[in-house]
Amino acid sequence: MIFMVKTTVSLIKADVGSIPGHVTVPKPLLSVAEKHMQKACETGLINSYYVFNAGDDLELLMTHSKGENNEDIHKLAWDTFMACADKAKSLKLYGAGQDLLADAFSGNVKGMGPGVAEIEFNERGSDPLIVFAADKTEPSAFNYLMYKIFADPSNTSGLVIDPRMLCGFTFDVLDAKASKSVMLKAPEELYSLLALIGTTEQYMIKKVYRSDDMEPAASLSTTKLAYIAGKYVGKDDPVCLVRAQSGLPSVGEITSTFLHPYLVAGWMRGSHWGPFLPVGLKNSKCTLFDGPPRLICLGVQIANGKLVSDDDGKPIVIDIFDDPAFDLARREAMELASHLRRHGVFQPARLSAGAMEYTTLPQCLVDLESRFKKE
């Protein structure tokens, strides 16, 4: 049987409270989320789900047939987060309700605090999907990863040796400061693309499509909490969905960027650079200097609108970074972490002055203003 209805995968996340401080999401919150998701499955709103955490961020992975930006799906996520935040408040967890910036749901969780990555597609014969979720960093942390997967043939051999990928990929890039976006093609416009996405303070990738048929290949969250709240309220810890194989980069090409770590912004108080540390779910907790920024990578397959499950109906989720293949990256990341921490609050360990405008630093400088004398 061919499944004709389009399938949507929605990954919606929020920090609704954590323990201790900003380290991780405790079990009682995951259980509240599980209950809400299970109920939504029973009523037929969603087809399947998986609840997990990336550090202190609660992640709801859902499959359904309602398309992207669907009000019912977003309301389900919002109501789930609200219930979890209530539980967090009752336990006096840290930052209870941190990312829920509105009092009431208004049709779409975008702009209300939670991060969203959604991708709608016609299922192929087999549909592998890679799910990335990060803590203590920002959406543009994925710019380098997207470039490596979809535009760098030294990472993705398929760009050269799979005829279905010779057309290259089209990147939808958001200018988060000006709230406008532009589509750029790689390899044709690679240098212009890199000129934008290398400036991670301002530009972030929203979507990636295969160029010849605009087949959706990746979707990323782009929430900037500071721009919504007008001040630092926590980091915009991002999520990303990447489809794999059969004319798209293979699972191994998607993960091979993490042979080595790279630096991302957002460590400690959202104010420092740190190495992106790839970890399995058992290490999904930001311990050292509230970090280092951590990245979870899960592998699933989608079939007939659902996450492929075992005989008990439990989704089969492969914890990709729970593997010695990433030990080298972890060791290199900790060497970088050690080097950066020796700089304390000095740049380049600390973010640039422009990025610090969105943190609590300006408040510390107010009293100094009147003491400055003209030179």
User: Is 84 an interacting residue with respect to ligand 13P (CB under 6 A)?
Assistant: no
95 or 249, CB closer to Mg ion? 95
Identify whether 209 is a catalytic site residue: no
Site track 104-143 with ligand 13P (rule: CB under 6 A), x = hit: -------------------------------xx-------
User: Is 118 an interacting residue with respect to Mg ion (CB under 5 A)?
Assistant: no
User: Is 64 an interacting residue with respect to ligand 13P (CB under 6 A)?
Assistant: no
User: Is 294 an interacting residue with respect to Mg ion (CB under 5 A)?
Assistant: no
Rounded Cα gap, residues 13 and 9, in angstroms: 13
> Letter for the amino acid at 187?
P
User: Is 135 an interacting residue with respect to Mg ion (CB under 5 A)?
Assistant: yes
User: Is 270 an interacting residue with respect to ligand 13P (CB under 6 A)?
Assistant: yes
The pair of structure tokens assigned to 343 is 């700089």
Taking CB under 5 A as the criterion, which residues in 44-73 touch Mg ion? 56-57
User: Is 95 an interacting residue with respect to Mg ion (CB under 5 A)?
Assistant: yes
Which of 13, 148, 235, 306 does the annotation list as catalytic?
A: 235
User: Is 113 an interacting residue with respect to Mg ion (CB under 5 A)?
Assistant: no
Helix 190-197 × helix 143-151 angle, to 10°: 160
Our measurement of the distance from residue 272's CA atom to the centroid of its chain's CA atoms, rounded to an integer in Å, reads 18
Q: Work out what residue 246 binds among ligand 13P, Mg ion, none; the CB cut-off runs from 5 to 8 Å by kind.
A: ligand 13P
Identify whether 15 is a catalytic site residue: yes
**How many alpha carbons lie under 13 Å from residue 172 in its C-beta half-sphere?**
15
Alpha-carbon separation of residue 58 from 22, 32, 35 (angstroms): 12, 11, 14
Cβ neighbours of 51 (radius 10 Å): 22
Q: Work out what residue 206 binds among ligand 13P, Mg ion, none; the CB cut-off runs from 5 to 8 Å by kind.
A: none
**How many alpha carbons lie under 13 Å from residue 52 in its C-beta half-sphere?**
26
User: Is 268 an interacting residue with respect to ligand 13P (CB under 6 A)?
Assistant: yes
Q: In the complex, what is the shortest distance from the CB of residue 33 to Mg ion, in angstroms, rounded to a whole number?
A: 15
Number of residues that bind ligand 13P (CB under 6 A): 20
Identify whether 314 is a catalytic site residue: no
Q: In the complex, what is the shortest distance from the CB of residue 99 to ligand 13P, in angstroms, rounded to a whole number?
A: 8
Q: In the complex, what is the shortest distance from the CB of residue 252 to ligand 13P, in angstroms, rounded to a whole number?
A: 5
* DSSP-assigned states of every residue in 129-175: EEEEEEESS-GGGGHHHHHHHHH-TTT-THHHH-GGGTT-EEEEEEE
191: exposed, middle or buried (C-beta count within 10 Å: 0-12, 13-18, 19+)? exposed
Q: Work out what residue 269 binds among Mg ion, ligand 13P, none; the CB cut-off runs from 5 to 8 Å by kind.
A: ligand 13P
DSSP character at residue 309: B
108: exposed, middle or buried (C-beta count within 10 Å: 0-12, 13-18, 19+)? middle
192 or 359, CB closer to ligand 13P? 359
Q: 62, 174, 290, 298: which one contacts ligand 13P (CB under 6 A)?
A: 290
Q: Where are the alpha helices (H) located in 187-322, listed in sequence order?
A: 190-197, 225-229, 251-255, 267-270
User: Is 22 an interacting residue with respect to Mg ion (CB under 5 A)?
Assistant: yes
Identify whether the C-beta of residue 217 lies closer than 8 Å to the C-beta of residue 209: yes
Q: What are the backbone dihedrals phi and psi of residue 66, each rounded to the nearest 5 degrees, phi first?
A: -100, 0
User: Is 290 an interacting residue with respect to Mg ion (CB under 5 A)?
Assistant: no
Alpha-carbon separation of residue 229 from 36, 75, 102 (angstroms): 27, 20, 10
Q: In the complex, what is the shortest distance from the CB of residue 23 to Mg ion, in angstroms, rounded to a whole number?
A: 9
**How many alpha carbons lie under 13 Å from residue 2 in its C-beta half-sphere?**
5
Q: Work out what residue 290 binds among Mg ion, ligand 13P, none; the CB cut-off runs from 5 to 8 Å by kind.
A: ligand 13P
Q: In the complex, what is the shortest distance from the CB of residue 132 to Mg ion, in angstroms, rounded to a whole number?
A: 14
User: Is 269 an interacting residue with respect to ligand 13P (CB under 6 A)?
Assistant: yes
Q: In the complex, what is the shortest distance from the CB of residue 133 to Mg ion, in angstroms, rounded to a whole number?
A: 10
The pair of structure tokens assigned to 342 is 């020796």
Binding site for ligand 13P (CB under 6 A): 15, 22, 55-56, 95, 98, 135-136, 162, 234-235, 237, 245-246, 250, 252, 268-270, 290
Active site residues: 15, 232, 235
Binding site for Mg ion (CB under 5 A): 15, 22, 56-57, 95, 135, 237
